[in-house]
Chains A and B, each alone.
Chain A
Amino acid sequence: MSLLRVEKLDLRYGDSQVLWAIDLAVEEGRISALVGANGAGKTTLMRAIAGLVRPSAGRISFGGEDLARVPAETRVRRGIALVPEGRRLFAGLSVRENLMLGAHVRTDRSAVADDLSKIFALFPELEKLSGQIAGTMSGGQQQMCAVGRALMARPRLLLIDEMSLGLAPVVVDRIAMALKSVNAEDGITMLLVEQDVELALEIASHATVMDTGRVVLDGPSTALIDDPKIREAYMGLAA
Chain B
Amino acid sequence: MSGKRQLILATVLLIAALAAPAFVGNYWLRVLTTVFMFGVVAQGLNVIVGFAGYHAFGNSVFFGIGAYATGIGMTLGLPVWVAIPVAVAAAALIAAVLGWPFLRLRGHYFAIATVALNAAATEVIINIGGVTGGAQGLPLPFSSLPPTLLYRIIYFAMLATLVLATAIVFWLSRSRLGYALRALRDSESGAEVMGVDTVKAKILAWTISAAMTGSAGGLWAYWLTFIEVGTAFDISISVRGYIMMLLGGMGTVIGPVIGAALFQLVGDAIWSHFSGIHNLLLGALVMAVVLLVPQGVLDSLSRLRPPARRPRRAAEA
Pair B314/A132 contact, Cβ less than 8 Å: yes
From B104-112, B194-202, B221-229, B257-265, give the one contacting chain A: B194-202
Say yes or no for B185: interface residue by CB 8 A criterion.
yes
Also in contact, A136 and B313, with CB within 8 A (given A92-B182, A93-B186, A100-B179) = yes
Say yes or no for B11: interface residue by CB 8 A criterion.
no
Flag B172-207 by CB within 8 Å of A: 1 or 0 each. 000010011011011101111111111000000000
Closest to B251 in A: A92
Also in contact, A73 and B190, with CB within 8 A (given A92-B185, A100-B179, A132-B314) = no
Q: How far is the CA of A76 from the CA of B187 in the complex (A)?
A: 16
Say yes or no for B291: interface residue by CB 8 A criterion.
no
From A13-21, A138-146, A231-239, give the one contacting chain B: A138-146
Q: Which of B195, B311, B317 contacts A171 (CB 8 A)?
A: B317
From A82-90, A188-196, A217-225, give the one contacting chain B: A82-90
Closest beta carbon of chain B to A41's beta carbon, Å: 18
Chain A residues, CB < 8 A from B179: 93, 97, 100-101, 104
Closest to A149 in B: B194
Q: How far is the CA of A201 from the CA of B314 in the complex (A)?
A: 32
Say yes or no for A121: interface residue by CB 8 A criterion.
no
Q: How far is the CA of A71 from the CA of B198 in the complex (A)?
A: 11
Chain B residues, CB < 8 A from A81: 193
Chain B residues, CB < 8 A from A171: 317
Also in contact, A104 and B195, with CB within 8 A (given A125-B317, A138-B317) = yes
Chain B residues, CB < 8 A from A72: 189, 192-193
Closest to A106 in B: B195
The residue among B192, B195, B311, B314 with the most chain A CB atoms within 10 A of its own CB is: B195
Say yes or no for A52: interface residue by CB 8 A criterion.
yes
Flag A80-124 by CB within 8 Å of B: 1 or 0 each. 011010001011110001001110110000000000000000000
Contacting residues of chain A (2-49) with chain B, CB-CB under 8 angstroms: none
| Interface size in chain A (residues, C-beta < 8 A) | 39
Q: Which of B182, B198, B317 contacts A73 (CB 8 A)?
A: B198
Contacting residues of chain B (285-317) with chain A, CB-CB under 8 angstroms: 311, 313-317
Pair A73/B314 contact, Cβ less than 8 Å: no
Say yes or no for A209: interface residue by CB 8 A criterion.
no
Q: How far is the CA of A223 from the CA of B259 in the complex (A)?
A: 66
Closest to A80 in B: B193
Also in contact, A52 and B189, with CB within 8 A (given A131-B311, A171-B317) = yes
Pair A140/B194 contact, Cβ less than 8 Å: no
Closest to B313 in A: A136
| Interface size in chain B (residues, C-beta < 8 A) | 24
Pair A132/B183 contact, Cβ less than 8 Å: no
Say yes or no for A133: interface residue by CB 8 A criterion.
yes
Also in contact, A140 and B317, with CB within 8 A (given A97-B179, A104-B176) = yes
Chain B residues, CB < 8 A from A54: none
Q: Which of B176, B183, B192, B193 contacts A93 (CB 8 A)?
A: B183
Pair A50/B193 contact, Cβ less than 8 Å: yes
Also in contact, A73 and B183, with CB within 8 A (given A136-B313, A138-B315) = no
Pair A90/B314 contact, Cβ less than 8 Å: no
Q: Which of B186, B192, B197, B311 contacts A91 (CB 8 A)?
A: B186
Q: How far is the CA of A171 from the CA of B130 in the complex (A)?
A: 71
Q: How far is the CA of A88 from the CA of B311 in the complex (A)?
A: 21
The residue among A84, A90, A136 with the most chain B CB atoms within 10 A of its own CB is: A90
Q: How far is the CA of A141 from the CA of B316 in the complex (A)?
A: 8
Say yes or no for A77: interface residue by CB 8 A criterion.
yes
Closest beta carbon of chain A to B128's beta carbon, Å: 39
Pair B190/A90 contact, Cβ less than 8 Å: yes
- 5 residue pairs, one from A and one from B, having the closest CB atoms: A76-B195, A140-B317, A105-B195, A72-B192, A90-B186
Interface residues of B (CB under 8 A from A): 176, 179-180, 182-183, 185-187, 189-198, 311, 313-317
**Can you list 26 A-B contacts with CB-CB less than 8 angstroms, sorted by A residue number?**
A50-B193, A52-B192, A72-B192, A74-B195, A76-B194, A82-B193, A84-B190, A88-B187, A90-B191, A92-B185, A92-B186, A93-B182, A93-B186, A100-B179, A101-B183, A104-B176, A105-B194, A132-B314, A138-B314, A138-B315, A138-B316, A138-B317, A139-B317, A141-B314, A141-B317, A168-B317
